[in-house]
Structure 1
């Protein structure tokens, strides 16, 4: 009996994509790589608590499926998310999969502390997320630097604000200047796109924020709290 053609040619591709993430180890790898940095296969294996051979098999599937990109330097194999679109996909899926008002109890005190740190502030690929990212987006909107009514867009005042801080933006870039990204802990949108990436990079380089450990969590420094109050009117208590 001849096999009938599928009514929607995108369905097999969607099913294949879903299958890639339908494994806890592969999902753990993708979430870890949301910090925007390249990890070695060994680092990812240790992070997911799996054997190197198991990690290699899963990473191969993610690379073949187009979710990860790899680069070899000497004997090391570095993996990163394949691009911003993949990062947004993973973050959006995490937002939909996150628990409701009564989340499961963390497995340990260490897990609870890590969860709180991620919720307070983190990088989402190359921009700021968590309560820190949401607070910045809200402050920019309140000051007329960012519009959220018809999708995210920088205003003329917003462009001047970036320029005044010395944060370069490339208006000719093919990447959207500003776009919203659904935050999986806050359930609201934070600032992504070229502007979000430039602001995150500036915040880290200027010492406004520092990474906590080797993961995605970040926190505002004392200098950053002063700067965010001065430039955006943010109360330091709201981001602690």
Structure 2
């Protein structure tokens, strides 16, 4: 299949409203059952199974069994980046009627959310800005690097090279859908996100990609990064 045909097929798969709802439900990095995804899309379980089979065949979803259940997740961070980019372009498109602001209308989603396995929204951008301003990371449009000062900072935060891993980009900027500035992705972004959950600084909002910053998180983020969200 030519690259043009493959691109068109992928776009058609993502462009279906029900499939788009299911893919969006998986954007927080968790795995969900067909029933849960059917509920998110407002369709029957049988219809959802057909959609999921097509998404898996196209390499957009991965499935794993646990006992009697089958769980579906996004196949890779590349799929999440594609979906986030589509959301950003869709949010920037001229509206047919009155103007609307870019990104999610939900204030909680704009404040802090997960973008697959890393933090996004105002919180994610603030962390990236703080680390860049302190010389802990160096970011460019095509990649990023952690400085020696950044390595010391991460070690103090309890993030080791083992936590970051070596099978993916260590540090990569990701253009934020709502803020239109970069947050941290790649292995570093995933490790920072996981550590914030471990420390109890953030917690998930049920049925949403939004995350809440806890009281402990407000203090911890202020202490570690010198940031305060409005």
Q: CA deviation at 1:10?
A: 1.2
Is this contact kept in 2: 1:143–1:232, CA < 8 A? no
SS at match of 1:46: helix
Distance verdict in 2 for CA 1:22–1:100, change over 3 Å: closer
Partner of 1:57: 50
Partner of 1:108: none
Question: Relative to structure 2, which stretch is displaced further, 185-194 or 213-222?
Answer: 213-222
Is this contact kept in 1: 2:32–2:71, CA < 8 A? yes
Q: 2:148 aligns with which of 134, 156, 176?
A: 156
Distance verdict in 2 for CA 1:172–1:67, change over 3 Å: closer
The separation in 2 between residues aligned to 1:27 and 1:172, in whole angstroms, is 30
The separation in 1 between residues aligned to 2:41 and 2:22, in whole angstroms, is 7
The separation in 2 between residues aligned to 1:27 and 1:149, in whole angstroms, is 30
Is this contact kept in 1: 2:165–2:187, CA < 8 A? no
Q: 1:168 aligns with which of 150, 160, 166?
A: 160
Deviations 1:48-106 (A, max 9, x none): 111111111111110111000011233322100001111111111111111469328xx
Q: Which structure 2 residues correspond to residues 186-197 of structure 1 after superposition, within 5 A?
A: 186-197=179-190
Is this contact kept in 2: 1:169–1:195, CA < 8 A? no
- CA-based RMSD of the aligned residues comes to 2.0
Q: Which structure 2 residues correspond to residues 175-186 of structure 1 after superposition, within 5 A?
A: 175-186=168-179
The separation in 2 between residues aligned to 1:208 and 1:70, in whole angstroms, is 30
Deviations 1:137-163 (A, max 9, x none): 111111111112463222111111111
The separation in 1 between residues aligned to 2:93 and 2:129, in whole angstroms, is 23
SS at match of 2:170: coil
Partner of 1:229: 222
The separation in 2 between residues aligned to 1:78 and 1:172, in whole angstroms, is 24
Partner of 1:94: 87
The separation in 2 between residues aligned to 1:229 and 1:74, in whole angstroms, is 43
The separation in 2 between residues aligned to 1:103 and 1:128, in whole angstroms, is 24
Runs of 4 or more, structure 1, over 4 Å off, are none
1:118 aligns with 2:106: no
Unpaired runs of 5+ residues, structure 2, are none
Distance verdict in 2 for CA 1:54–1:192, change over 3 Å: same
SS at match of 1:96: helix
Unpaired runs of 5+ residues, structure 1, are 1-5, 105-110
Partner of 1:107: none
The separation in 2 between residues aligned to 1:228 and 1:64, in whole angstroms, is 41
The separation in 2 between residues aligned to 1:49 and 1:169, in whole angstroms, is 42
Q: CA deviation at 1:169?
A: 2.0
Aligned length: 222
Partner of 2:125: 134
Q: 2:197 aligns with which of 201, 204, 208?
A: 204
